[in-house]
């Protein structure tokens, strides 16, 4: 079968497909259906220094051909994660990306600093989409300036490659990505969810407020990947509505080195294994030796 491996941050991954942060629990849950080592890399749920309880239910909402979520970053905290969940990935020989966040610059920095380098940790992914309490709750990732400063300060405190994960709710995502890279980001993940609202007609109220994910995001994410990958020299990881192997290949062609899949797994828990098989088939049919040859193909 075709070789799907790709290189990222000087490591070789089995394949370019990761889960999106927060869409594959703590890694063990999916193993009732398939082994976590199916993934090119596992991306953790958003982790923080201290545990977070998250929001009251409902936390998920169907919205047309997509969904809204407001999980509220529930997580067990770094300490419990490493004690209880991290060993699985070593056992499965599966590289992981640690997605993390904070509600103040200091929380971000301490969080990153407290993560000890480990051969299985290929990168930290900083979630810049969450409210900064010290800045009146507006999110980090919206101003190039604040993105630059947080990334720069985090980089000073960790030797682990740092991926900046950006929100699409910005005026110019290329500018934000460039700020992140010039501050030292080693990679960019595009995109996080897009804030949306759903109205309950019967109840005459806002039924739900949360982040939009799934197929409706795809053209927005492809644009971010196409534009940013042209503008920066670091690897771009694409996410947003990826549902099948054709979507994966489209994101690679748009300039992504790797992709993340979230919502699709909720609809079909075998979406990821299926898309990997599909990508392999595509490579065989097109006599492709390496996936790298597809990356950015659409730029030409």
Ligand X SMILES: Cc1cc2nc3c(=O)[nH]c(=O)nc-3n(C[C@H](O)[C@H](O)[C@H](O)COP(=O)(O)O)c2cc1C
Contact 69, 45 (CB under 8 A): no
By C-alpha distance, which of 179, 252, 181, 182 is closest to 221?
Answer: 252
> Using CB under 8 A, which of the segments 26-34, 90-98, 174-182, 234-242 binds another protein?
26-34
Binding mask of the shown chain, residues 74 to 113, with x at each position contacting another protein by CB under 8 A: x-x-------------------------------------
Q: Which is nearer to ligand X, 178 or 263 (CB)?
A: 263
Q: Which two tokens stand for residue 94?
A: 């599966």
Task: Name the binder of 33 from a copy of itself, ligand X, another protein, none, CB < 5-8 A by kind.
Answer: another protein
Q: What is the DSSP string of 167-201?
A: -S-SS-HHHHHHHHHHTT-SEEEE--PEEEEEEET
Of residues 294, 288, 232, 230, the one with CA closest to residue 259: 294
Applying CB under 8 A, which part among 49-57, 102-110, 119-127, 166-174 lies near a copy of itself? 166-174
User: Residues 32, 57, 171, 287: which binds a copy of itself (CB under 8 A)?
Assistant: 171
Binding of residue 239 to ligand X (CB under 6 A): yes
The tokens describing 226, both together, are 């196409």
The piece of 72-80, 136-144, 262-270, 272-280 that touches a copy of itself (CB under 8 A) is 136-144
> What residue spans of the chain are helical by DSSP H?
77-80, 86-91, 105-113, 144-157, 173-182, 218-231, 245-254, 263-267, 271-285
Among 3, 12, 35, 65, binds a copy of itself (CB under 8 A): 65
From the list 62, 106, 172, 284, which residue makes contact with another protein (rule: CB under 8 A)?
62
Task: Tell me the CA distances in angstroms from 241 to 56, 149, 221, 238, one per residue in order.
Answer: 26, 30, 8, 10
- Closer of 29 and 246 to a copy of itself (Cβ): 246
- Going by C-alpha positions, the residue among 278, 268, 277 that lies closest to residue 214 is 268
Q: Is 130 among the catalytic positions? A: yes
For position 197 contacting a copy of itself by CB under 8 A, the verdict is: yes
Task: Identify the bridge partners of residue 60 per DSSP, sorted by sequence position.
Answer: 69
CB of 19 closer than 8 Å to CB of 41: no
Q: Which of 82, 120, 270, 282 binds another protein (CB under 8 A)?
A: 270
Q: Could you say which residues in the range 155-214 bind another protein, by CB under 8 A?
A: 214
Residues that bind ligand X (CB under 6 A): 20-23, 45-46, 69, 71, 73, 99, 127, 165, 192-193, 213-214, 217, 239-242, 261-264
User: Active-site residue numbers?
Assistant: 130
């Amino acid at each position: 079968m075709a070789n799907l491996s790709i290189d990222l941050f000087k490591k070789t991954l089995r394949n370019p497909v990761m889960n999106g942060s927060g869409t594959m629990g703590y890694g063990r849950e999916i193993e009732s259906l398939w082994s976590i080592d199916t993934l090119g890399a596992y991306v953790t749920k958003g982790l923080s220094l201290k545990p977070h309880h998250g929001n009251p239910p409902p936390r998920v909402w169907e919205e047309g051909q997509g969904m809204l979520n407001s999980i509220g970053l529930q997580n067990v905290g770094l300490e419990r994660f490493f004690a209880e969940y991290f060993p699985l990935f070593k056992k499965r020989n599966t590289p992981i990306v640690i997605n993390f966040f904070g509600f103040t610059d200091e929380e971000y920095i301490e969080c990153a600093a407290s993560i000890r380098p480990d051969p299985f940790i290929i990168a930290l992914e900083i979630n810049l989409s969450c409210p900064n309490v010290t800045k009146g709750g507006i999110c980090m990732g919206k101003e190039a300036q604040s993105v630059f400063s947080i990334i720069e300060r985090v980089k000073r405190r960790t030797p682990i490659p740092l991926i900046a994960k950006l929100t699409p709710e910005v005026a110019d995502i290329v500018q934000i990505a460039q700020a992140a890279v010039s501050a030292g980001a080693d990679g960019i993940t595009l995109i996080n969810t897009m804030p949306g609202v759903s109205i309950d007609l019967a109840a005459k109220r806002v039924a739900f407020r949360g982040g939009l994910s799934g197929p409706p995001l795809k053209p927005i994410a492809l644009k971010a990947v196409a534009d940013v990958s042209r503008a920066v020299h670091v690897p771009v990881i694409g996410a947003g509505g990826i549902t099948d192997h054709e979507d994966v290949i489209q994101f690679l062609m748009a300039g992504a080195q790797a992709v993340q899949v979230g919502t699709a797994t909720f609809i079909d828990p075998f979406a990821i294994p299926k898309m990997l098989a599909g990508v392999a088939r595509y490579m065989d049919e097109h006599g492709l030796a390496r996936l790298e040859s597809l990356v950015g193909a659409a730029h030409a």
